[in-house]
Structure 1
Amino acid sequence: MAQDKYATMGAAIFADVGGPSNVAKLIHCMTRVRMTIIDEGKVKMAALKKIPGVLGVVQEDTLQVILGPGVVNKVAQAMVDSVGVGLGEPFPTGGHAANKSAVEAVAAETHAAQKAKLKQTWWRAALKHISSIFIPLIPAFVGAGLISGIAGILGNMLTAGMIGKDMTEFITVLKVINGGLFTYLNIYVGINAAREFGGTPGLGGIIGGLVLLPGLAAPIPINNIFTGQPLAAGQGGIIGVLFSVWIMSMVEKKLHTWIPDSLDIIIVPFTTLLVMGVFTIFLVMPLAGLVSSSLVGGINWVLNIGGAFSGFVLGLFFLPMVMFGLHQILTPIHLEMIKELGSTPLLPILAMAGAGQVGAAIALWVRAHKNKQLTRMIKGALPVGILGVGEPLIYGVTLPLGRPFITACIGGGIGGAVIGAIGNIGAITIGPSGMALIPLIAHNQWLGYVFGLLAAYAGGFVATYFFGVPKSAMVAKNEDGTLVGAGAGDVAVADDADAPVTAGTTQFVAPVQGQLESLSAVQDDVFSTKMMGDGFAVEPAMGTIVAPVSGTIVSVMDTKHAWTMKSDTGLEIIVHLGLDTVELKGAPFDLSIRNGDHVQFGQQVGLMDLDAIKAAGKGTTVMTIITNMAAVANITPVTPQGIEAGAPTITVTTK
Structure 2
Amino acid sequence: MTTKTDFEPLSKAVLEGLGGADNVSSVTHCATRLRFKIKDACKVNDSKIEDTAGVIALMKAGGQHQIVIGNDVPFAYDAVVSLPGMATKGAKGAAVEDSDEDNGEKPNAFNAFIQLISSLFTPILWPLAGIALVKAFLSAGTNLGWFDTESTNYIVFAALADGLFFFLPMFLAVTAARRFKMNEFIAMATVAPLVYPSIIGLASVDADLKLLGIPLTAMDYSSSVIPAIVTVWLASYVQHYCEKILPSAVRNFMTPVLVLLIMVPIVLLTVGPLTMKLAAWISAGVAWLFQVAPWLAGGLLGAFWQVLVIFGLHWGFVPIFLNDIANLGHSAMMAPLQAAVMAQAAAVTAVALRSHLPARRKLAGPSAVSGILAGVTEPAIYGINLPLKVPFYAGVVGGAVGGIIIGLAGVSFNSFTFPSLLAFPAALGEGNFLMFVIGTIIAMVIAFVGTWILLPRAERREEEAKAAKAAAELEATEGDDNTAAATEDASSDTVLIPVNGTVIPLDEVEDKVFASGAMGESIAVEPSNGQVLAPVSGKVIAAPKSGHAVGIKSAGGVETLVHVGIDTVQMDGEGFTPHVTVGDHVQAGQPIVDVDLDAVAKAGYKATTLLIVTNSKKLSTVEHLAQPGLVVAGEPGLRAAK
The answer, yes or no, to whether TM exceeds 0.5 is: yes
| Higher mean C-alpha deviation, range 129-138 or range 342-351 | 129-138
Q: 1:360·1:408 contact (CA, 8 Å) conserved in 2?
A: yes
1:170 to 1:113, Cα distance in 2 relative to 1, 3 A: closer
Question: Is 1:128 matched with 2:115?
Answer: yes
Residue 402 of structure 1, CA deviation? 3.0
The residue type equivalent to 2:423 in the other structure is L
Cα–Cα, structure 1 residues 234 and 544, in superposed 2: closer, same or farther, change >3 Å? farther
Match of 2:69 in 1: none
Give the Cα–Cα distance (whole angstroms) in 1 for the partners of residues 317 and 218 of structure 2.
26
Whose Rg is larger? 2
Distance in 2 between residues matched to 1:438 and 1:377, nearest whole Å: 26
Residues 397-433 of structure 1, C-alpha deviation per residue, up to 9 Å, x if partnerless? 112223432332222222212211211x122222332
Partner of 1:438: 424
- Alignment of 1:510 with 2:507, yes or no, is yes
How far apart are the structure 1 equivalents of 2:91 and 2:191?
25
Q: What's the secondary structure of 1:428's corresponding residue? A: coil
Does the 8 Å contact 1:343/1:442 carry over to 2? no
Aligned to 1:202: 185
Residue 329 of structure 1, aligned match among 312, 316, 335: 316
After TM superposition, list the pairs within 5 Å mapping 1:38-53 onto structure 2.
39-41=29-31
Distance 1:626 1:493 in 2: 9
Q: Quick one: distance in 2 between partners of 1:455 and 1:118?
A: 47
Give 1:268 shift: 1.2
Deviation for aligned residue 1:332: 1.2
Partner of 2:609: helix, strand, or coil? strand
Write out aligned runs for 1:421-460 (5 A).
421-423=408-410, 425-443=411-429, 446-460=433-447
Aligned-partner residue type, residue 200 of structure 1: N
Deviation at 1:42, TM superposition (A): 5.6
Residues 118 and 390 from structure 1, CA distance in 2 versus in 1: closer, same or farther, beyond 3 angstroms? farther
Rounded to whole Å, the distance in 2 between the matches of 1:288 and 1:273 is 19
Q: Displacement, 1:546?
A: 5.5
Partner residue of 2:371?
385
Matched residue type, 1:430: F
Letter of the structure 1 residue corresponding to residue 218 of structure 2? L
Secondary structure in 1 aligned to 2:560?
A: coil
- Please report how far the alpha carbon of residue 61 of structure 1 lies from its aligned counterpart in structure 2 after TM superposition: 5.8
Quote the residue 2:494 is aligned against.
Answer: none
For 1:242, the equivalent position in structure 2 comes to 229
CA distance in 2, matches of 1:303, 1:622: 57
Corresponding position of 1:493: 466
Cross-structure match for 2:173: 190
| Cα distance, 1:139–1:358 mapped onto 2, change above 3 Å | closer
Matching residue within 258, 273, 277 for 1:271: 258
Q: How many percent identity over aligned positions? A: 21
Query: How far apart in 1 are the matches of 2:307 and 2:521?
Result: 24
- Separation in structure 2 between the aligned mates of residue 286 and residue 114 of structure 1, nearest angstrom: 30
Do 2:138 and 2:158's aligned partners in 1 also have CA atoms closer than 8 Å?
A: yes
Tell me how far apart the structure 2 counterparts of residues 544 and 340 of structure 1 sit (CA, whole Å): 53
Cα pair distance change 1:591/1:171, threshold 3 Å: closer
Q: Decide which of 420, 427, 431 is 2:407's aligned counterpart.
A: 420
* C-alpha distance in 1 between matches for 2:420 and 2:306: 14
Paired residue for 1:595? none
Corresponding residue for 2:348? Answer: 361
- CA drift of 1:542 comes to 12
Q: In the alignment, residue 275 of structure 2 is paired with which amino acid?
A: A
Task: Tell me, yes or no, if the aligned pair for 1:190 and 1:205 is still in contact at 8 Å.
Answer: yes
User: What residue is the counterpart of 2:327 in the other structure?
Assistant: 340
Equivalences for residues 42-441 of structure 1 within 5 A: 111=98, 116=103, 120-158=107-145, 168-212=151-195, 214-216=197-199, 218=205, 222=209, 230-234=217-221, 237-365=224-352, 367-368=354-355, 370-387=356-373, 388-423=375-410, 425-441=411-427
In the alignment, is the contact (CA less than 8 A) between 2:223 and 2:326 conserved in 1? no
Aligned equivalent of 1:606: 609
State the Cα distance separating 1:102 from its structure 2 match.
6.0
Q: Work out the number of aligned pairs and report it.
A: 456
- State the distance in 2 between where 1:402 and 1:195 align: 39
Equivalent position amino acid for 1:333 in 2: I
What is the distance in 2 between the residues matched to 1:498 and 1:356?
38
Contact 1:359 1:411 (C-alpha < 8 Å) held by counterparts? no
Cα offset for 1:360?
1.7
Distance in 1 (CA, whole Å) between partners of 2:238 and 2:163 is 30
Q: CA deviation at 1:584?
A: 7.0
Q: Secondary structure at the match of 2:508?
A: coil
Listed as ranges, the matches of 1:629-640 within 5 Å are none
Counterpart CA distance in 2 for 1:427 and 1:303 is: 14
The 1-side partners of 2:519 and 2:239 are apart by 35
**Contact persistence 2:165–2:223 (CA under 8 A):** no
1:510 counterpart letter in structure 2 = D
Letter aligned with residue 610 of structure 2: L
Aligned counterparts, 1:24-39, within 5 A: 39=29
**8 Å Cα contact 1:194/1:200 also seen in 2:** yes
**Equivalent residues of 1:471, 1:494 under 8 A apart:** no
Question: Quick one: distance in 1 between partners of 2:453 and 2:115?
Answer: 38
Are the structure 2 counterparts of residues 200 and 41 from structure 1 closer, same or farther at C-alpha, using a change threshold of 3 Å?
Answer: same
Name the CA shift for 1:394/1:100 in 2 (closer, same or farther; >3 Å): farther
Q: CA deviation at 1:201?
A: 1.6
Q: 1:587 aligns with which of 560, 571, 594?
A: 560
Distance 1:288 1:622 in 2: 59
1:454, distance to aligned residue in structure 2 (A): 0.8
Contact 2:30 2:93 survives alignment (8 Å): no
Cα distance in 2 between the residues matched to 1:558 and 1:198? 44
> CA 1:366–1:242 in structure 2 vs 1: closer, same or farther (change >3 Å)?
same
- How far, CA to CA, are the matches of 2:522 and 2:435 in structure 1? 44
Corresponding position of 2:50: none
Aligned to 1:4: none
Output the CA distance in 2 between the equivalents of 1:336 and 1:239. Answer: 8
Q: CA deviation at 1:236?
A: 10
Q: Deviations over 1:119-142 (max 9, x none)?
A: 754443443332233233234324
**How far does the alpha carbon of each residue in 1:13-50 deviate from its partner, in whole angstroms, 9 at most, with x for none?**
xxxxxxxxxxxxxxxxxxxxxxx99545469xxxxxxx
Shift of 1:200: 1.6
Change in Cα spacing, 1:100 to 1:38, as seen in structure 2 (3 Å) is closer
DSSP 3-state at the match of 1:607: strand
| 1:461 Cα deviation from its structure 2 partner | 2.2
| Pair 1:39–1:442, CA change in 2 (3 A) | farther
Aligned 8 A contact 1:472 1:494 in 2: no
The alpha-carbon distance between structure 1 residues 273 and 495, as it changes in their structure 2 partners (threshold 3 A), is farther
TM-score (norm 1): 0.58
RMSD: 5.1
Mapped partners of 1:543, 1:342: distance in 2: 56
Matches of 1:470 and 1:116 in 2, distance apart? 48
